Every structure is written in structure tokens, then in C-alpha cells.
Structure 1
Amino acid sequence: MKPIRLLAALCMSAALSFAIAPRGAVAADAATLTVATDATFPPMEFTENGARTGFDIDLMNALAKAMGKQVQWTDIDFKGLVPGLVAHRFDIAISAIYITPERAQVVDFTKPYYAGGLVALVKAGSPIKTLADLNGKKVSVQVGTKSVNFLHEHYPQVQRVEVEKNEEMFDLVGIGRVDAAVTGKPAAYQLARTRPGFRVLDEQLTTEQYGIAVRKDEPQLRDALNAALDKIKADGTYAALVKKWFSNK
């Protein structure tokens, strides 16, 4: 083969090898991880004095440190997290995302990192005492969350009021526009602790597991996150974060 043709063949082979290389290997080796969240769900993720904070924020930063990487955060509405991840707008989504069969069809999840579940939040003087009392009542839920379909399937008599943000959901309860809000347990208990006049029903609607979402074509990144999670659990970092954010409940 002539030298020019040989060089061209080698270049083509190298380009082909790069094109078919697993994307996960590239993402997992990158110095910076682009991570998306909807920072409106205290104590998991929220903003305070203009900065992101919360359990998920601290957890992701600890995982990145264990992996020897930096985090570049981006904010997005909750309903856009999975579509944005699939569209390669970022590498990782962490935002109190429940691991569900429906989501697992389109994205991969790490091993569960915290147990949550859906609960009902009402005003302190509400006549609603049990989950059965929700039937026929107005209940606020956040668009894109499991609460929407869960109430539709299991509590069809509930009048769902769908909103974009958690603050709206809780505010509607506070001003009496709705009778209850159905949301994740950490956020509900956080609100009841920090804003007088609210309480959480004792019985949970569901028990769920939170996971960190990555694309299905990046198993190396998922595995690296799992290894980092094991590491921070072994060295006590994870336990310290749980104590920091959930010591009162």
C-alpha cells in the first residue's frame, strides 16, 4: 500500500474507533461533571442567600470530590430533568428523583441513596386526618412528579391542582386554595418544621427510593458514582450529611 493511502487508512480507522467508543468512558473521565437540579425542594435542594444548598447538593459535591472531579451546576425545572439528560444537555441529574419503572426505561439510575416517599401536607387545623379523607378534596401537586399519576390512579376522586414549583404547591395550602399538598416526605417535614401552621399526615402514600440519573449509554459514569457513594459511606461523609439535613426527622 502506498504511504499516502496507508496514512489515510490509519486516520480513518482512528476516527472510526473514536466514533464508536462508549460515550460513558468520555463522560466518566472528564474533569468536570455537568449536573442539573431543580433547587426548589428543601431540604434536598434549594437556594439560600443566592447559593444552592441542601442534601443533594452536598451529596453530589462529596461524590465529585471522591471521584476527583469538579461540578458545574445548571438549574432546570423538574419536568425537564429527564428530557434534558437524554438530550445531552448535562451529564447527571440529581433532584430528589424517585427511581420508577417509567423513568428507568429511558435513563439509568445509581443505587438508591436515600429513602423517601409521598406524603400529604395539610394545615394544622385541617379536618383531614387520614389518606382516605383526601377523596373529593383539592390537592396541589408539582407537574412532572410521581404525585400527579399516583393520585390519578389511586385517588381518582381527588381534584388535582397542578403547579410548576413546590413553593406554589405549599402556598396554595397555606392560603386555603387547596386542602392538601402531596409531595416528597423530606420537603413536607422540612416545611412543617420551618413554617408554623402545617402538619404531615402520619400515614405515607408510598415508600420510594431516590437515585441519581445518568444516560443509558454511560454505564461507566453510573458505576463511578456508585463506587464514590460506597466510598463516602465507608469514610463517614454520607452519615454526616444525613445527620446535618435530617437529624430532626
Structure 2
Amino acid sequence: MKRTLTALLLSLVSTLPLADTLDDAKASGKLTLAVANEIPYGYLSSDGEAKGEAPEIALRTLKALGIDNVEVLVTEFGSLIPGLKAGRFDVIAAGMYINPKRCEQILFSNPTYTIGEGFLVKTGNPLTLTGYNDIKTQPDLKLGVMAGAVEFGYAKDFGIALDQIVTLPDYPSGVAALKAGRVDALAGTVLTMAELGKKSDAVELAQPFEDLVIDGDKVNGYGGFGFRRGDEGLRDAFNTQLAAFIGSEEHLALVEPYGFGAHTLPGDVTTAQLCQP
């Protein structure tokens, strides 16, 4: 009898609604964001100020929702989804690409931008690397990718051998590996690679660069904000604000310093479409 009652109580508890993060945040005025310290998507400046496309939009959006006290934490990109699910922060504000695999784990806002791929190479591009095919067709070459980022899947799906793909914890480690010759190119979004190229005379953005095409489709990533399952209220309120903001003059002025603009607007693409397998 006790076992039956215990099982019944556990069943009832499991069906109770989770705490409403939006209501709690409105009541307290507090919320926590996570970034991966990746310029220009989401990072902390040298004085600890939140910068980048995602934090700028998030802070503006949360303020419109009555949430002014926002803490911004830095974590490795590969730890963003596990950290969100574990409750260590409330929103991922790292420009994370929306894709079906991630949609199985967390909720996403509608996208705020779209962007293509790029390589970081040694200055002068001595190996003349202009796209993923150059890595695929030269088995001795190594391609660096960031742990948890989509580029590992892109490289694998394109047909690059697994022993050619080197996973690194973050982009500074990737740049170090490129300089040391442990990888021949570092893959990422073109904005990130361009930004990394500005920081050292030893590396540069590979130009020209061939569009990445997988199964006949040009690959463009669409980035948005991540939320825990159960926080549909927060996600929906966020989306309502984004719908009236993305593409406005205020939005473009906010993100243009980071290299975004009218050319990176996501158009009519929705998260529902991006989450479809």
C-alpha cells in the first residue's frame, strides 16, 4: 500500500507545473544569461560589460519585459545547453544556431540573424584553402572546430574524414592550434573568423571562400536564444518583443557595430521550420 501511495505521489509531483521563470523574473527583476565569450556573438569586455549581438538584443528585450537586473555568465560553448538544463542560468545569449538536434533538448526563440561559414588560415593562406572541399580532398590536412559547435557536423556531413577533424575547447585554443600547425584551418562563422583574424598578424580570414553546400543545399546558420523546456512563457514573451524589433532601425543600429545588419536579417524563417528534421 505504501509503495502504491508513494508511486501515486511521485506521479502527481511529476505532473505539477514547473516554476514560471518569467513570473519569477518579473517579480524579482532578475535573470541570468550565458555567453560563450565569442566575438561578435556574445562576450564580456575587459571591464566586464556584456557585449555582442545576442546580449545587446537580450538586455533590450528583457528591459521591455520589466527585467532590469541581468547577470551575464561566461561558459564554454559546449557547456551552454547542459548548463541551461541544469538551471545554472536562464537564457543562452550566445548566437547559438537553431537546429533539430538542439531543438530536442531546449526551446529557441525565433532567429535574429543568418550567416554563412568561413575558415581562419595562416596569413597568406599558404595552402590556398578556399572551402571544405579543400580539406576533404587532401587527407593529410586537419580542420579545427570548436567543441559543441555545428562545424563538426558540417565537416562530417560534407564527407571529411573524422581523423581530419580536431575538436578544440574554444576559439583561442583553435587559433593557438592553427599557429602551431596542429590544424591547417579553423572553421566557424565568417564573422567569428574575420574577428579572430583582426587580432593577430599570423592568421587571417580565408578569401575567397566557397559556400558550404551539403546535399545540394547551401548551408546558412540561423541564430537565436535558448530557453529551458517548461519556460515557454518566457520564450513566447521574448518572441513577441523580437517580432516588433528585428529589422527595425533601432535593431540595426544596435547590431551594426558587431558586423550584423540588413544583410544578416533572417527574413521569414522561423524556429518551427529550423527545428524540423
Q: Is the 1:99–1:210 contact (alpha carbons within 8 Å) kept by the matching residues of 2? A: yes
Q: Which stretch has the larger CA shift, 47-56 or 73-82?
A: 47-56
Counterpart residue number, 2:72 = 73
Q: Which stretch has the larger CA shift, 207-216 or 120-129?
A: 120-129
1:142-184 C-alpha deviation (Å, 9 max, x unpaired): 1111112222232333611211111111222233321101112
1:180-217 C-alpha deviation (Å, 9 max, x unpaired): 01112220121234433412342233211001000121
**In structure 1, C-alpha distance between the alignment counterparts of 2:251 and 2:46, rounded to whole Å:** 25
Aligned residue for 1:96, secondary structure, equals strand
Q: Compared with structure 1, are the counterparts of its residues 87 and 240 closer, same or farther at alpha carbon in structure 2 (3 Å cutoff)? A: same
* Equivalent AA in structure 1 for residue 210 of structure 2: E
Counterpart residue number, 1:112 = 111
Gaps of 5+ in 2: 1-12, 213-218, 264-277
* Number of aligned positions between the proteins: 231
Q: Compared with structure 1, are the counterparts of its residues 194 and 241 closer, same or farther at alpha carbon in structure 2 (3 Å cutoff)? A: farther
Q: Percent identity?
A: 24
- Once the 2 structures are TM-superposed, how far is the Cα of residue 103 of structure 1 from its aligned partner? 0.5
Q: Is the 1:120–1:204 contact (alpha carbons within 8 Å) kept by the matching residues of 2? A: no
> Whose radius of gyration is greater, 1 or 2?
1
Q: Compared with structure 1, are the counterparts of its residues 155 and 50 closer, same or farther at alpha carbon in structure 2 (3 Å cutoff)? A: farther
Which of residues 197, 203, 206 in structure 2 aligns to 1:200? 206
Aligned residue for 1:56, secondary structure, equals helix
Counterpart residue number, 1:166 = 171
Counterpart residue number, 2:135 = 134
* Equivalent AA in structure 1 for residue 243 of structure 2: D
Q: Is the 2:112–2:246 contact (alpha carbons within 8 Å) kept by the matching residues of 1? A: no
TM-score by length of 2: 0.75
* Equivalent AA in structure 2 for residue 240 of structure 1: A
- Once the 2 structures are TM-superposed, how far is the Cα of residue 235 of structure 1 from its aligned partner? 5.5
Gaps of 5+ in 1: 1-15
Aligned residue for 2:246, secondary structure, equals helix
1:201-236 C-alpha deviation (Å, 9 max, x unpaired): 422332110010001211110011112223433763
* Equivalent AA in structure 2 for residue 157 of structure 1: A
Q: Is the 1:37–1:74 contact (alpha carbons within 8 Å) kept by the matching residues of 2? A: yes
Q: Which stretch has the larger CA shift, 220-229 or 170-179?
A: 170-179
Q: Is the 2:131–2:211 contact (alpha carbons within 8 Å) kept by the matching residues of 1? A: no
* Equivalent AA in structure 2 for residue 82 of structure 1: I
Q: Which stretch has the larger CA shift, 156-165 or 217-226?
A: 156-165
TM-score by length of 1: 0.82
